[in-house]
Structure 1
Amino acid sequence: MQTQDLARAVIGGDRRALARAITLVESGREDHRRAAGDLLEACAQSGRQALRIGLSGTPGVGKSSFIEAFGTLLTGQGLRVAVLAVDPSSARSGGSILGDKTRMERLSRDPRAFIRPSPSQAELGGVARRTREAVALCEAAGFDVVLIETVGVGQSETLVAGMSDIFVLLIAPAGGDELQGVKRGIMEMADLILVNKADGDLKDTAIRTCADYAGALRLLRKRPQDPEGFPKALTVSATEGQGLDRVWDEITALSDWRRAQGHFAAHRAEQARDWFEAEVRHGLLARLTADPAIRAEMDRLGAAVAEGRATPARAASDILAALRR
């Protein structure tokens, strides 16, 4: 399929075309990268926007269960929901399980939902290299909400906050006291903190944990993009579906307030600039392996560093000088 035909099919809501388009933008082949650039340019003409919601949390906190329950709630209200689930890649083999459709069996059968697992491919920050482009394609395809699930590695998952409109952090009951809650990094970027598994024997523990985090949030400096009362800590139960309606109400209220105050558009503009700068950085790194002369110099200096004949700082400075030349 030609690039323009693929773009028209994506904008027309063709799910197969969307899957093919995401596969294309995730490819690292040089000809595919050129085609992906043309595809994204064409899809940008649709002018569509979705509400981007990033979700993070430690492994086992119930991100997939929450996404399935929350996504089903949204599709039940007539919304179209896309889920971009990032799976960790093996440091040894480079492979990923990509089993999120299996974990979200009910949502994967919903005609108003689209689930796409992608490998992280050793990318830091809990997201895949091409997640931004996949989000743009889902918006062009007419989805109302895009849920971005990170790999779940902990405090370093801050990149997803830079590509989402609302950032939600899922916490397990008894995950730590209020001192744990004031740690800088991922905690201060969250718009909503949800204590999951607030059911059964864990319900009282979840309520206490939520109170601890609510107290910790009051110690953080107020952000200009937040109305009074945000960020908030809430309890939810993905298995019983409790608290999900309130989560959606809080998300829409926060999004509407930011749109009215101009923060939403400013954040989107900042995201676009960050995307541009990230592409420049990746392009410069790609030159290190694409240019035979620079690759040879890298190998030579790498051997010198390994043998102790040069310091890493000096070798890196020499490589940067070679790039400037």
Structure 2
Amino acid sequence: MDIDDLKTRILAGERRALARAITLVESGRVDHRAQALALLEAVKGHGRQALRVGLSGTPGVGKSTFIEAFGCMLTGRGLRVAVLAVDPSSARSGGSILGDKTRMERLSRDPGAFIRPSPSQSQLGGVARRTREAIDLCEAAGFDVILIETVGVGQSETMVAEMSDLFVLLLAPAGGDELQGVKRGIMEMADILLVNKADGDLKATAVRTCADYAGALRLLRKRPQDPQGFPKALTVSALEEAGLANVWDEMCGLTDWRRAEGHFDARRAAQARFWFEAEVRERLLARLSREPVKGAMRALAGQVEDGELTPSAAAEELLSTHLMMS
């Protein structure tokens, strides 16, 4: 693969080249990984910066419907929008449906948009292992807004907050009360809570739910990266496309404040360090599944089963002798 040619086409904003590059970084092959690292090094430092927005919520809350309506509104304003949608992988077969482009039919035909579904595989936290690198590629391709849709696994789905500038949590009407709103985990990571489906018979319920969460947010400890009034809860109807402009205005206002106060760049620097440390941990764990460490681990496990070694002593021998020497 010609990395220089691929880099040139990505920087020119070619969507086909971008799709090919994301396929490359998602590949598990050793030779592909080397090419992917070379490509990521080649495209960095070009001064392009998109607004990265992470979106999470329980399955069925309307994430895809919201993203399509919101994305179409943004492209209508002349912005280029990339959507990175992560689909859950089957614990049995390992497969994923990857049906988000089917759900977002109108946005997928928009020349100003790019939609890329990816399988979560065995990665926890609601995102795929290489989503962060796909974000870097979309940024290099000149997209103005990158929307990262998680699989929707629940309150522990906080990994997307470590790769986004804004974290938006979508909620369903009557989906909780004030106590639910103060639970730790995903709730305290959010910058904006959106109560979706505020239309028809559910509109009054959505307004009440929004008020419950707004009250709960006032009980959370104030974060240094938040101006007065944030995090905040809003109602929105993706179906009727109501409240979308207000959501975008709130996002822009929060981002502008964080840039002015220095929180925006500091947060991105902290995220870069986080992903460096995560990559080191991931590679160390990967070495356990390769020889000769794999064989040594199997032998030590046999000694533990026979009672010759305690689990702690066996782990110490593996780490100090075999893992460090491999």
Mapping 1:132-151, distance limit 5 Å: 132-151=132-151
- Unaligned 5+ segments in structure 1 are none
Map Cα deviations across residues 67-103 of structure 1 (whole Å, 9 max, x no partner): 0000001000000000000000111111111110001
How far 1:315 moved relative to its partner? 3.8
Aligned residue number for residue 320 of structure 1: 319
Aligned residue number for residue 300 of structure 1: 299
Mapping 1:46-195, distance limit 5 Å: 46-195=46-195
Equivalent position amino acid for 1:82 in 2:
A
DSSP 3-state at the match of 1:219? coil
How far 1:122 moved relative to its partner? 1.2
Separation in 2, partners of 1:318, 1:206? 57
DSSP 3-state at the match of 2:217? helix
The 8 Å contact of residues 7 and 39 in structure 1, kept in 2 or not, is answered as yes
Separation in 2, partners of 1:179, 1:112? 41
The 8 Å contact of residues 120 and 127 in structure 1, kept in 2 or not, is answered as yes
How far 1:306 moved relative to its partner? 6.0
Separation in 1, partners of 2:306, 2:119? 35
How far 1:309 moved relative to its partner? 6.4
The 8 Å contact of residues 177 and 213 in structure 1, kept in 2 or not, is answered as yes
After superposition, the CA RMSD in angstroms is 1.4
Separation in 1, partners of 2:77, 2:307? 63
The 8 Å contact of residues 82 and 146 in structure 1, kept in 2 or not, is answered as yes
Aligned residue number for residue 8 of structure 2: 8
Over 3 Å counting, the alpha-carbon distance change for 1:311 and 1:244 in structure 2 is farther
> TM-score if structure 1 supplies the norm length?
0.97
- Extract structure 1 runs of 4+ deviating beyond 4 A: 303-314
How far 1:205 moved relative to its partner? 0.7
> Size of the alignment, in residue pairs?
324
The 8 Å contact of residues 161 and 167 in structure 1, kept in 2 or not, is answered as yes
Aligned residue number for residue 212 of structure 1: 212
- Unaligned 5+ segments in structure 2 are none
The 8 Å contact of residues 56 and 149 in structure 1, kept in 2 or not, is answered as yes
The 8 Å contact of residues 65 and 238 in structure 1, kept in 2 or not, is answered as yes
Separation in 2, partners of 1:134, 1:206? 34
The 8 Å contact of residues 88 and 122 in structure 1, kept in 2 or not, is answered as no
DSSP 3-state at the match of 2:52? strand
How far 1:184 moved relative to its partner? 0.4
Map Cα deviations across residues 150-172 of structure 1 (whole Å, 9 max, x no partner): 00000111110010000000001
Separation in 1, partners of 2:203, 2:306? 58
Over 3 Å counting, the alpha-carbon distance change for 1:111 and 1:276 in structure 2 is same
Separation in 1, partners of 2:148, 2:46? 21
How far 1:38 moved relative to its partner? 0.6
Over the matched positions of the two proteins, sequence identity in percent amounts to: 75
DSSP 3-state at the match of 2:218? helix
How far 1:174 moved relative to its partner? 0.6
